[in-house]
Protein backbone atom coordinates (compact mmCIF):
# COMPACT_ATOMS: atom_id res chain seq x y z
CA UNK A 1 0.00 0.00 0.00
CA UNK A 2 1.26 3.46 -0.81
CA UNK A 3 0.16 6.89 0.31
CA UNK A 4 0.19 9.53 -2.38
CA UNK A 5 -0.04 13.12 -1.19
CA UNK A 6 -0.81 16.27 -3.11
CA UNK A 7 0.79 19.54 -2.04
CA UNK A 8 -0.62 23.06 -2.56
CA UNK A 9 -3.96 22.05 -3.99
CA UNK A 10 -5.87 25.02 -2.55
CA UNK A 11 -4.93 28.55 -3.64
CA UNK A 12 -5.26 30.09 -0.17
CA UNK A 13 -2.97 27.47 1.36
CA UNK A 14 -0.29 28.06 -1.31
CA UNK A 15 -0.59 31.78 -0.45
CA UNK A 16 -0.26 31.27 3.30
CA UNK A 17 2.92 29.27 2.64
CA UNK A 18 4.23 32.01 0.31
CA UNK A 19 4.46 29.31 -2.35
CA UNK A 20 3.52 29.62 -6.00
CA UNK A 21 0.26 28.04 -7.17
CA UNK A 22 1.34 24.91 -9.06
CA UNK A 23 0.59 24.37 -12.75
CA UNK A 24 0.55 20.59 -12.27
CA UNK A 25 -0.12 18.61 -9.09
CA UNK A 26 2.77 18.53 -6.64
CA UNK A 27 3.18 14.92 -5.53
CA UNK A 28 4.98 13.27 -2.68
CA UNK A 29 4.61 9.94 -0.90
CA UNK A 30 4.50 8.53 2.56
CA UNK A 31 5.32 4.90 3.43
CA UNK A 32 2.71 2.59 4.96
CA UNK A 33 4.44 3.05 8.33
CA UNK A 34 3.11 6.63 8.34
CA UNK A 35 -0.48 5.52 8.90
CA UNK A 36 -2.09 6.20 12.26
CA UNK A 37 -5.56 4.72 12.62
CA UNK A 38 -8.29 3.81 15.09
CA UNK A 39 -8.10 7.03 17.10
CA UNK A 40 -4.63 6.19 18.37
CA UNK A 41 -2.65 9.06 19.90
CA UNK A 42 0.21 10.72 18.06
CA UNK A 43 3.45 11.11 20.00
CA UNK A 44 5.12 14.45 19.36
CA UNK A 45 8.50 13.58 17.77
CA UNK A 46 11.78 14.84 19.23
CA UNK A 47 13.11 16.06 15.87
CA UNK A 48 10.69 18.97 15.46
CA UNK A 49 9.63 22.03 17.39
CA UNK A 50 6.94 23.03 14.95
CA UNK A 51 4.57 20.18 14.18
CA UNK A 52 1.65 21.34 12.00
CA UNK A 53 -1.76 19.91 11.20
CA UNK A 54 -2.94 19.76 7.58
CA UNK A 55 -6.52 18.49 7.30
CA UNK A 56 -7.26 16.81 3.98
CA UNK A 57 -9.88 14.69 2.27
CA UNK A 58 -8.35 11.23 1.70
CA UNK A 59 -9.49 8.85 -1.05
CA UNK A 60 -9.13 5.07 -0.88
CA UNK A 61 -8.37 3.38 -4.20
CA UNK A 62 -10.68 0.43 -5.01
CA UNK A 63 -9.36 -0.70 -8.38
CA UNK A 64 -5.93 -1.24 -9.91
CA UNK A 65 -5.11 1.10 -12.75
CA UNK A 66 -2.49 2.83 -14.85
CA UNK A 67 -2.99 5.69 -17.32
CA UNK A 68 -6.53 6.20 -16.06
CA UNK A 69 -8.57 8.59 -18.16
CA UNK A 70 -10.19 11.43 -16.28
CA UNK A 71 -13.68 10.44 -17.36
CA UNK A 72 -13.28 7.03 -15.68
CA UNK A 73 -11.31 8.20 -12.65
CA UNK A 74 -14.33 8.28 -10.31
CA UNK A 75 -14.55 4.49 -10.59
CA UNK A 76 -11.14 4.12 -8.94
CA UNK A 77 -12.11 5.21 -5.42
CA UNK A 78 -15.12 4.21 -3.41
CA UNK A 79 -14.36 5.45 0.11
CA UNK A 80 -13.10 8.65 1.61
CA UNK A 81 -12.32 10.14 4.97
CA UNK A 82 -10.70 13.09 6.67
CA UNK A 83 -6.99 12.70 7.29
CA UNK A 84 -4.10 14.70 8.69
CA UNK A 85 -0.89 15.21 6.75
CA UNK A 86 1.19 15.95 9.85
CA UNK A 87 4.19 18.06 8.94
CA UNK A 88 7.36 19.04 10.79
CA UNK A 89 7.27 22.58 9.41
CA UNK A 90 10.71 23.57 10.69
CA UNK A 91 12.31 20.47 9.18
CA UNK A 92 10.41 21.05 5.94
CA UNK A 93 11.67 24.64 5.75
CA UNK A 94 15.27 23.42 6.08
CA UNK A 95 14.71 20.77 3.37
CA UNK A 96 13.15 23.31 1.02
CA UNK A 97 15.94 25.81 1.62
CA UNK A 98 18.54 23.24 0.62
CA UNK A 99 16.47 21.84 -2.23
CA UNK A 100 16.41 18.47 -0.47
CA UNK A 101 13.61 15.90 -0.50
CA UNK A 102 11.21 16.50 2.37
CA UNK A 103 10.31 12.95 3.49
CA UNK A 104 11.83 13.43 6.96
CA UNK A 105 9.46 16.39 7.40
CA UNK A 106 6.32 14.72 6.09
CA UNK A 107 6.59 10.94 5.85
CA UNK A 108 7.66 9.99 9.39
CA UNK A 109 5.84 7.37 11.48
CA UNK A 110 2.29 8.40 12.33
CA UNK A 111 2.28 11.38 9.97
CA UNK A 112 -0.71 10.11 7.98
CA UNK A 113 -3.57 10.19 10.48
CA UNK A 114 -6.72 8.58 9.10
CA UNK A 115 -10.34 8.91 10.12
CA UNK A 116 -13.00 6.30 9.61
CA UNK A 117 -13.67 5.68 5.91
CA UNK A 118 -17.17 6.24 4.54
CA UNK A 119 -18.78 5.65 1.16
CA UNK A 120 -17.69 8.16 -1.46
CA UNK A 121 -20.98 7.67 -3.30
CA UNK A 122 -22.72 9.68 -0.56
CA UNK A 123 -20.93 12.83 -1.72
CA UNK A 124 -20.57 15.01 -4.76
CA UNK A 125 -16.82 15.02 -5.35
CA UNK A 126 -16.69 18.74 -6.11
CA UNK A 127 -18.70 19.87 -3.09
CA UNK A 128 -17.45 18.17 0.07
CA UNK A 129 -17.26 20.42 3.10
CA UNK A 130 -14.84 19.44 5.85
CA UNK A 131 -13.27 20.92 8.94
CA UNK A 132 -10.82 20.26 11.73
CA UNK A 133 -11.17 21.34 15.34
CA UNK A 134 -8.38 21.70 17.89
CA UNK A 135 -9.52 21.60 21.51
CA UNK A 136 -13.05 22.31 20.30
CA UNK A 137 -12.25 25.32 18.09
CA UNK A 138 -12.38 25.14 14.30
CA UNK A 139 -8.88 25.68 12.92
CA UNK A 140 -9.31 24.58 9.30
CA UNK A 141 -12.34 24.60 7.10
CA UNK A 142 -12.46 23.68 3.44
CA UNK A 143 -14.59 22.54 0.56
CA UNK A 144 -13.45 20.45 -2.38
CA UNK A 145 -15.09 22.98 -4.72
CA UNK A 146 -11.93 25.04 -4.08
CA UNK A 147 -9.50 22.33 -5.19
CA UNK A 148 -7.09 23.48 -7.88
CA UNK A 149 -6.92 19.91 -9.24
CA UNK A 150 -10.07 17.80 -8.90
CA UNK A 151 -10.10 14.22 -7.61
CA UNK A 152 -10.55 12.94 -11.16
CA UNK A 153 -7.70 15.02 -12.51
CA UNK A 154 -5.42 13.87 -9.67
CA UNK A 155 -6.17 10.19 -10.26
CA UNK A 156 -5.54 10.55 -13.97
CA UNK A 157 -2.33 12.53 -13.44
CA UNK A 158 -0.91 10.37 -10.64
CA UNK A 159 -1.59 7.14 -12.55
CA UNK A 160 0.61 8.28 -15.43
CA UNK A 161 3.57 7.89 -13.08
CA UNK A 162 2.47 5.39 -10.46
CA UNK A 163 0.23 2.40 -10.97
CA UNK A 164 -2.63 2.62 -8.51
CA UNK A 165 -3.38 -0.45 -6.42
CA UNK A 166 -6.42 -1.35 -4.38
CA UNK A 167 -5.96 0.09 -0.91
CA UNK A 168 -3.68 2.96 -1.91
CA UNK A 169 -4.55 6.29 -0.33
CA UNK A 170 -4.55 9.74 -1.88
CA UNK A 171 -4.28 12.80 0.41
CA UNK A 172 -5.82 15.50 -1.77
CA UNK A 173 -4.31 18.63 -0.21
CA UNK A 174 -5.03 20.98 2.67
CA UNK A 175 -6.91 24.28 2.70
CA UNK A 176 -5.60 27.34 4.53
CA UNK A 177 -5.36 27.47 8.30
CA UNK A 178 -2.51 25.04 8.90
CA UNK A 179 -0.93 25.63 12.27
CA UNK A 180 1.13 24.32 15.17
CA UNK A 181 0.24 21.52 17.56
CA UNK A 182 1.21 21.10 21.19
CA UNK A 183 1.29 18.10 23.47
CA UNK A 184 -2.19 17.71 24.95
CA UNK A 185 -4.08 19.02 21.89
CA UNK A 186 -7.23 17.13 20.94
CA UNK A 187 -8.04 17.07 17.24
CA UNK A 188 -11.35 16.16 15.67
CA UNK A 189 -11.96 15.97 11.94
CA UNK A 190 -15.33 16.19 10.20
CA UNK A 191 -16.72 15.69 6.74
CA UNK A 192 -19.96 17.58 6.64
CA UNK A 193 -21.25 17.30 10.20
CA UNK A 194 -19.95 13.79 10.60
CA UNK A 195 -17.02 13.30 12.97
CA UNK A 196 -14.64 10.78 11.41
CA UNK A 197 -11.30 11.51 13.04
CA UNK A 198 -10.07 11.90 16.59
CA UNK A 199 -6.44 12.25 17.56
CA UNK A 200 -4.75 13.34 20.74
CA UNK A 201 -1.19 14.69 20.67
CA UNK A 202 0.86 13.08 23.44
MG1 LIG B 1 -0.65 18.32 2.86
How many whole angstroms from 73 Cα to the centroid of ligand 1?
21
Q: Residues lining ligand 1 (ion), CB within 5 A?
A: 54, 85, 174
Q: How far is the CA of 104 from the centre of ligand 1 (A)?
A: 14
How many CA within 13 A on the CB side of residue 103? 10
Alpha carbon of 13 to ligand 1 centroid (Å): 10
Q: pLDDT tens per residue, the chain (202 residues)? A: 999 999 999 999 989 988 888 999 999 999 999 999 989 999 999 999 999 999 999 999 999 999 999 999 999 999 999 999 999 999 999 999 999 999 999 999 999 999 999 999 999 999 999 999 999 999 999 999 999 999 999 999 999 999 999 999 999 999 999 999 999 999 999 999 999 999 999 9
Task: Write out the chain in H/E/C secondary structure.
Answer: CCEEEEECCEHHHHHHCCCCCCCCCEEEEECHHHEECCCCCECCCCCCCCEEECEEEEEEECCCECCCCHHHHHHHEEEEEEEEECEEHHHHHHHHHHCCCCHHHHCCCCCEEECCCEEHHHCCCCCCEEEEEECCEEEEEEEHHHECCCHHHHHHHHHHHCCECCCCEEECCCCCCCEECCCCCEEEEEECCEEEEEEEEC
- Supply the CATH classification number for the domain 3-200: 3.90.850.10
Domain ranges of the chain: 3-200
Tell whether pTM > 0.85. Answer: yes
Amino acid sequence: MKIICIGRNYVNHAKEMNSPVPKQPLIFMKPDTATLVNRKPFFYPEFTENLHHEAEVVLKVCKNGKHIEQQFAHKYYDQLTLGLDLTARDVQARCKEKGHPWEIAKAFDGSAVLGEFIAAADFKADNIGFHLTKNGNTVQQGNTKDLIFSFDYLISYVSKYFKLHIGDLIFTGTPEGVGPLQIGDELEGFIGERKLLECRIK
